[in-house]
């Protein structure tokens, strides 16, 4: 039987997507894979000793025709902190609708389609936050580390998105395809692309689910204000303790409400 050209194109698209999408193992351990990307990115100081934020500050000073000063550094790292605040805010907003139990679950959740809050502007606000935080934190890494953090996170996030989209299309069918046709995948629209579905946010739950990201953000804010690297790393080192405590709280919350985390 001869296939139509459009059918061949659809089949080829599905084939390359299936090859690129993350495996079940990668999805289950996505937190640790992303953590490993950050570890590799910052470890590259051993090869490239120049901080990317410092280089950018020097470039700003050169454009102004002035010598490099603390003002240029504060501007660069204030911008990094602002990006991190926006990333954490977007993720918190999304998790408030999605629920933190879904966000930390090792199983892909397809029982419902969330089309409220930031999901009306972009299909993957949490993964958008991942990429934004990689850019912000990358300014604390070396030049090579910045490239690894941004490219590594973007590629892995894209593979996770393909995995989730395939599962959602298989389970939600036409309703999900219509949602995908209306709402962009990763670059937000300037206005809501779908009508609100009536979901109610729980911002305290959203904050609980995103405390790890807010600790990253706090470390950048502290550095932008003080330019004290030791204080930056002290705040940053608290992130994994915060993650462990918030994960414990999320699991207790899920047991009380009868939801699977």
| Residue 199 neighbours by CB under 8 Å, 6+ apart | 97, 114, 115, 116, 117
Q: Report whether pLDDT(169) > 70.
A: yes
Q: What is the mean pLDDT of residues 49-66?
A: 87
Q: What is the mean pLDDT of residues 119-141?
A: 96
Q: Report whether pLDDT(71) > 50.
A: yes
Residue with tokens 């807010």: 214
Predicted confidence (pLDDT) per residue in 213-254, tens digit: 999 999 999 999 999 989 999 999 999 899 999 999 998 887
Q: What pLDDT does residue 135 have?
A: 97
| pTM, rounded to two decimals | 0.89
Mean pLDDT of the chain: 88
Q: What pLDDT does residue 8 have?
A: 46
Q: Report whether pLDDT(88) > 70.
A: yes
Q: Report whether pLDDT(28) > 80.
A: yes
Are the beta carbons of 34 and 153 closer than 8 angstroms? Answer: yes
Q: What is the mean pLDDT of residues 86-106?
A: 91
- Give long-range contacts, CB 8 A cutoff, 24+ apart: 73-77: 73/227, 74/224, 74/227, 76/139, 77/53, 77/139, 77/140, 77/220, 77/223, 77/224, 77/227
Predicted confidence (pLDDT) per residue in 9-22, tens digit: 555 556 666 778 88
């Amino acid at each position: 039987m001869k296939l139509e050209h459009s059918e061949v194109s659809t089949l080829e698209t599905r084939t390359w997507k299936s090859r690129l999408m993350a495996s079940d193992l990668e999805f289950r351990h996505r937190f640790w894979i992303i953590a490993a990307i950050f570890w590799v990115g910052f470890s590259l100081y051993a090869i490239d000793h120049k901080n990317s934020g410092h280089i950018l500050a020097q470039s700003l000073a050169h454009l102004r025709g002035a010598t490099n000063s603390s003002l240029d550094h504060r501007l660069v790292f204030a911008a990094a902190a602002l990006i991190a605040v926006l990333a954490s805010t977007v993720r918190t907003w999304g998790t408030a609708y999605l629920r933190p139990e879904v966000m930390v679950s090792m199983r892909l959740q397809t029982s419902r389609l969330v089309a409220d809050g930031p999901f009306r502007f972009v299909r993957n606000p949490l993964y958008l936050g991942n990429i934004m935080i990689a850019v912000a934190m990358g300014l604390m890494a070396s030049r090579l580390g910045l490239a690894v953090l941004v490219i590594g996170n973007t590629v892995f996030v894209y593979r996770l998105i393909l995995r989730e989209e395939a599962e959602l299309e298989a389970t939600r069918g036409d309703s999900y395809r219509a949602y995908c046709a209306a709402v962009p995948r990763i670059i937000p629209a300037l206005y809501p692309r779908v009508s609100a579905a009536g979901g109610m946010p729980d911002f305290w739950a959203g904050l609980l689910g995103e405390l790890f990201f807010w600790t990253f953000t706090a470390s950048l804010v502290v550095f932008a204000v003080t330019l004290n690297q030791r204080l930056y790393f002290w705040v940053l080192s608290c992130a994994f303790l915060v993650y462990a405590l918030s994960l414990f709280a999320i699991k207790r919350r899920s047991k009380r409400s009868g939801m699977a985390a």
